[in-house]
Structure 1
Amino acid sequence: MAIRKRYCREVGRSSRFPLTVPSPWLVGEGTDVWRLLRAIAAGYVFYDPADTIYADGRAKVRSQWRVNAKDLKGLMSLLYGKVSEVGV
């Protein structure tokens, strides 16, 4: 199961909880590697190497898979068998 929060906003540095996460959340259930591979082949999911090499030769590796979140619910319906919005 994957839970993806839709929007976040900062409420202040002095707050005990620095982020407020309003409802709804998108919840995806039931996926497999074939769904991921189809989304990659269609160009919806892409690999971002995001590596940095510093002047002293040190490397910072932070590779990750990314998606365009414009139509997140539609994209999640390709990646998951069931997508629903839940209030928190």
Structure 2
Amino acid sequence: MMHSSRWRVNDTVAYELMQAEAGVLSRRLLVSIRDDDSVADAARRELIGVRRDAARVDGYDRRAVDALAARFRSRSAELSGGSRA
């Protein structure tokens, strides 16, 4: 007997993309921590929040996954001055 999952293949892809966006943002925050003492504490707190939010998002809630990915992407763009490197 086959067991069905609530996940669809494209949901898995969206979740993986959100995780990748979290990774990009985390790297940008780590660079901020390393390069600018004036923002290090705030960047550390934000980094903890990014990791927490990425771990806690309900992977079955596609809207939440997409919204979190968009938030990570937007914040990453802010930190990079609008470019995606």
Give the TM-score, by structure 2 length: 0.30
Higher strand share: 1
Q: Which has the higher contact order (CA 8 A, sep 6+)?
A: 2
Higher helix share: 2
Larger Rg: 1
